[in-house]
């Protein structure tokens, strides 16, 4: 794509859509025009962007005429209905939903992980943004791929905001109710989310026992890393357990890796410190490590609790194939909107003029 693109943001009034607009503005993404799109009930709302109040238009069949680049920050149902209309109009679509992640004709991309996949993306194409938990994991461990990553055991601690604005409101309401001595009444989730931890709310495969969130780790990682894993071999092995926690914003993950060769702690730390979009937060003396609160509002994955997994054996000199990490990331930013904007920057061929990284 050459020149200043015309852009559209679908779902402009939602949590991810508003985050996308904020990041586009902060990073001074080059564009000649912008169109804000949402459902009929949000049409006519005013959203501030680049110092101006802008009207939100109703998403419709002709919304993508003249649009070069369309950001979809809506659900899978909206994406399945309107992405084909956008691509037919010649737009490149960057879709945050789960609608097209598994489709071989769509590009699945995280710039920090498989930037090369974005070269040569043509008009009328779809670039799918992976699941937020996958993004946080893979950005964190990408620097360690130089040592080979054979197996990953990951347990997630996922915030209510991953299920949308209504889930965030439910956590707030239930917290007030419980503290006032009233029962927590679930509406969005099947289980009370205040003062509780429960299995991720995605559908469970009765044959495997995996929920959809857990299955995405393997399928998306192998595709992003270019590993087929057909027949049970040739791909990274991932064992995931995904849960919701009573956190408003920011996902965390406990990660245990098996590397292809034994390495020393100094090598692991050096690789992580040099990694793209990573901030190492690992102060053993002060017990200061990644938390969702520290990650919230930031554009980096926080990585800490860096330590050898001695159950996998330690060689003389301290080298080990097994390594533990604890990571936190803002799933609305790095796990969604920021990754979409970074993809767009790659497609347009520009670097952001202002970093939004928080230190």
For 4-33, the pLDDT digits (tens) are 899 999 999 988 999 999 999 999 999 999
Residues 232 and 146 in one domain: yes
Is 345 a member of any domain?
no
- The pair of structure tokens assigned to 196 is 């509780």
Rounded Cα distance, 34 and 18, in Å: 14
Residues 155 and 301 in one domain: yes
Q: Which of 110, 130, 150 is the last residue of a domain?
A: 130
How large is the average pLDDT for residues 34-45?
93
How large is the average pLDDT for residues 298-310?
97
**What pLDDT, on a 0 to 100 scale, did the predictor assign at position 355?**
45
- In which element (H, E) is residue 133 found? helix 132-141
Q: Which of 90, 109, 130 is the last residue of a domain?
A: 130
Q: Dihedral angle at the C-alpha atoms of 18, 340, 243, 11, nearest 10 degrees?
A: 40
Residues 71 and 155 in one domain: no
Q: What is the CATH number of the domain that holds 149?
A: 3.30.360.10
Is 45 a member of any domain?
yes
Residues 83 and 226 in one domain: no
If phi > 0 it is left, if psi is from -120 to 50 it is alpha, else beta; for residue 173 that is alpha
Higher pLDDT, 199 or 165: 199
Find the catalytic residue in 193, 200, 251, 320.
251
Question: Domain count of the chain?
Answer: 2
**What pLDDT, on a 0 to 100 scale, did the predictor assign at position 350?**
75
How large is the average pLDDT for residues 307-319?
95
Residues 276 and 140 in one domain: yes
Q: What is the CATH number of the domain that holds 76?
A: 3.40.50.720
Residues 226 and 309 in one domain: yes
pLDDT above 70 as % of the chain: 95
Domain residue limits at 31: 6-130
Is 201 a member of any domain?
yes
Average pLDDT, the chain: 93
Rounded Cα distance, 93 and 225, in Å: 22
Res. 353 pLDDT band, cuts 50 70 90: very low
Is 208 a member of any domain?
yes
Q: Answer yes or no: is pLDDT of 258 > 60.
A: yes
Residues 256 and 115 in one domain: no
Residues 57 and 153 in one domain: no
Q: What are phi and psi of 237, to 5 degrees?
A: -95, 125
How large is the average pLDDT for residues 66-90?
96
C-beta neighbour count of 33 within 10 angstroms: 12
Is 353 a member of any domain?
no
Residues 146 and 225 in one domain: yes
Find the catalytic residue in 132, 193, 242, 320.
132
Residues 282 and 143 in one domain: yes
Range with lowest mean pLDDT among 42-46, 85-89, 267-271, 355-359: 355-359
Is 298 a member of any domain?
yes
Res. 358 pLDDT band, cuts 50 70 90: very low
pLDDT tens digit sequence for 259-275? 999 999 999 999 999 99
Q: Which of 130, 149, 180 is the last residue of a domain?
A: 130
Is 165 a member of any domain?
no
pLDDT tens digit sequence for 141-163? 999 999 999 999 999 999 999 99
**What pLDDT, on a 0 to 100 scale, did the predictor assign at position 164?**
85
Q: Answer yes or no: is pLDDT of 302 > 90.
A: yes
Residues 123 and 237 in one domain: no
pLDDT tens digit sequence for 182-212? 999 999 999 999 999 999 999 999 999 999 9
31 catalytic residue (yes or no): no
Res. 351 pLDDT band, cuts 50 70 90: low
Residues 40 and 139 in one domain: no
200 catalytic residue (yes or no): no
**What pLDDT, on a 0 to 100 scale, did the predictor assign at position 349?**
87
**What pLDDT, on a 0 to 100 scale, did the predictor assign at position 184?**
96
Res. 354 pLDDT band, cuts 50 70 90: very low
Is 113 a member of any domain?
yes
Instruction: Report the predicted TM-score, pTM, of the whole model to 2 decimal places.
Output: 0.93
The residues near 292 (Cβ < 8 Å, ≥ 6 apart) are: 157, 159, 247, 249, 250, 251, 252, 328
């Amino acid at each position: 794509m050459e020149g200043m693109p015309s852009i559209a943001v679908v779902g402009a009034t939602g949590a991810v859509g508003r985050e996308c607009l904020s990041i586009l503005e902060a990073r001074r993404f080059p564009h000649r025009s912008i169109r804000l799109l949402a459902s009929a009930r949000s049409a006519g709302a005013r959203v501030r962007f680049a110092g101006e109040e802008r009207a939100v238009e109703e998403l419709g069949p002709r919304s993508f005429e003249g649009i070069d680049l369309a950001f979809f920050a809506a659900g899978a149902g909206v994406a399945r209905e309107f992405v084909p209309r956008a691509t037919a109009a010649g737009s490149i679509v960057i879709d945050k939903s789960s609608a097209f992640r598994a489709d071989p004709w769509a590009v699945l991309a995280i710039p920090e992980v498989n930037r090369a996949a974005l070269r040569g993306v043509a008009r009328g194409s779809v670039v799918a943004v992976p699941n937020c938990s996958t993004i946080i994991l893979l950005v964190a461990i990408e620097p360690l791929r130089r040592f080979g990553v054979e197996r990953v055991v990951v347990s997630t601690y996922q915030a209510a905001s991953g299920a949308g604005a209504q889930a965030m409101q439910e956590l707030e309401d239930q917290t007030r109710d419980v503290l006032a001595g009233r029962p927590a009444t679930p509406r969005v989730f099947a289980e009370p989310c205040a003062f509780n931890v429960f299995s991720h709310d995605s559908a469970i495969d009765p044959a495997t026992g995996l929920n959809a969130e857990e299955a995405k780790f393997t399928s998306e990682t192998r595709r992003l890393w270019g590993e087929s894993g057909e027949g049970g071999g040739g791909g990274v092995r991932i064992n995931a357990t995904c849960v919701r926690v009573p956190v408003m914003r920011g996902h965390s993950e406990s990660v245990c890796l098996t590397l292809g060769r034994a390495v020393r702690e100094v090598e692991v730390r050096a690789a992580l410190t040099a990694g793209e979009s990573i901030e190492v937060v690992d102060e053993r003396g002060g017990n200061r490590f990644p938390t969702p609160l520290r990650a919230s509002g930031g554009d980096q994955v926080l990585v800490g609790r860096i330590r050898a997994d001695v159950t996998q054996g330690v060689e003389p000199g301290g080298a080990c194939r097994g390594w533990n990490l604890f990571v936190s990331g803002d799933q609305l930013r790095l796990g969604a909107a920021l990754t979409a904007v970074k993809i767009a920057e790659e497609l347009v061929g520009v670097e952001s003029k202002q970093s939004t990284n928080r230190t």
